[in-house]
Amino acid sequence: MEQAISVVRHCFGLGITLFDTANMYGDSEKKIGAALESVRDQIVLASKTLNREAEGAAEHVDHSLSSLKTQVIDVYQLHQVGNPETLDRVLAPDGAYQALSKARDEGKIRFIGLSSHNVQIAIQACKTGRFDTVQVPFNFVERDLAEELFRVAEEMDMGIIGMKPLAGGVLERADLCFRFLQQYPKVVPIPGIKGQEEADEIIELYRTTRALTEKEREEIERIRTELGTKFCRRCEYCMPCQQEIHIPMALGFRAFVNRFPPVGTIALLDANMKKAETCIECEECVEKCPYELPIPDLIKENLSLYREYVKLHT
Ligand code: SF4
Ligand code: SF4
């Protein structure tokens, strides 16, 4: 808690004013609340709920308000709306959107947003005209359909939040990642950081903004091509799997390791990794993946890394 408070305050001191968290990120809301209570009027707080029903989402808003130690949350988002069924569910009369709309009327939140790893769904959601912000992964590997999304969001006067500027920790060249993002000033990037040094490094890159050099463009293309055959964009087009494996989660082991401590990584991944062991290599998912990823092989690779990780940390 102490370390987190010190890092968050350091970020505020550097001029960072948007802090994005979620109800399901462990005690993240509590840490941010404790760190920023005294400067509440100078920052923008964003949180999210994964609950799809009105009742559950309303409880989450109240929970977030209390954890974040605030009277109002600036942006409250429907978390991970990744397929048409979920979008219909949250927008149904008894769905989560209804609770957020009521919370906005009551002054508990100011704006309603949604987050999604599926850009097609994000575009669909923007077109409903019911959201104020949209949050999607945006980095130089995940930029498919981005121009279309940005055009629609701009038409609807929505804010755009770019999650995973480093592709969830898969991209190591922060300089390339943020120089790329500087070409899109309307997208607010929300990098996750592990400590003050990472915040310093990013902010240093923003002391100057400039176009990408030819050499940087070539390097970006080289990395894109190299990752193309194995990088899961978490779009969920490959789902559902007949063995009920959550495929993007099973392929995302490295990203989880980068974001959570071992106990959190194992708690979040274990049940799905057990399911992943039952993959029968039917390849139905491969046919549906627009990036033609060799999913069964990648599952095996991630499983083997995961087993080693569990041995090391338990
Ligand atoms: S190959 Fe494995 S992961 Fe893909 S659909 Fe079949 S069982 Fe599911
Ligand atoms: S495996 Fe392919 S279809 Fe499935 S989430 Fe990843 S990128 Fe999307």
Q: How confident is the model at residue 41 (pLDDT cuts 50, 70, 90)?
A: very high
Judged against a pLDDT cut of 80, whether residue 228 lies above it is answered with no
**CA proximity to 52, closest of 100, 103, 86:** 86
Those residues with Cβ within 8 angstroms of residue 193's Cβ, 6 or more apart along the chain or in another chain: 7, 11, 199, 202
Query: For the purposes of burial, counting CB atoms within 10 Å of the CB of 156, is it exposed (0-12), middle (13-18) or buried (19 or more)?
Result: middle
Q: Of all protein residues, whose CA lies closest to atom 6 belonging to ligand 2?
A: 232
pLDDT (0 to 100) of residue 46: 98
Q: pLDDT band at 106, cuts 50/70/90? A: very high
Query: Residue 69 is encoded by which pair of tokens?
Result: 């130690």
Q: What is the pLDDT of residue 125?
A: 98
Ligand 2 atom with the shortest distance to the CA of 234? 5
Q: Which pairs count as long-range contacts for 242-248, CB under 8 Å and 24+ apart, including other chains?
A: 242/280, 242/282, 242/284, 243/275, 243/278, 243/279, 243/280, 244/275, 245/272, 245/275, 245/276, 245/278, 245/279, 245/299, 246/272, 246/275, 247/285, 247/295, 247/299, 248/117
Helix (H) or strand (E) holding 115: strand 109-115
Strand partners, 115: 135
Q: What is the pLDDT of residues 245-282, one digit of tens each?
A: 999 999 988 888 877 889 989 999 999 999 999 999 99
Does ligand 2 have an atom closer than 6 angstroms to the CB of 246? no
Mean pLDDT within 33-45: 98
Nearest to 77 by CA among 20, 37, 27: 20
Ligand number nearest to the C-alpha of 251? 2
Q: Sorting pLDDT into bands at 50, 70 and 90, what band is 168?
A: confident
236 Cα–ligand 1 center, Å: 13
Ligand 1: centre distance to CA 53 (Å): 29
SS3 call for 99: helix
Mean pLDDT of the chain: 94
- Ligand 1 neighbours, Cβ below 6 Å, are 241-243, 245, 247, 279-285, 295-296, 299
Tell me the average pLDDT across 167-174: 87
**Which protein residue has the closest C-alpha to ligand 2 atom 8?**
235
Predicted TM-score of the model (pTM): 0.85
Q: How far is CA 143 from CA 6, 167, 179, 181, in A?
A: 33, 11, 15, 11
CB 286 within 8 A of CB 298: no
- For residue 167 and ligand 2, the question of a CB distance below 6 A is answered with no
**Residues 113 and 135 sit within 8 Å (Cβ to Cβ):** yes
Q: Containing H/E element for 119?
A: helix 119-127
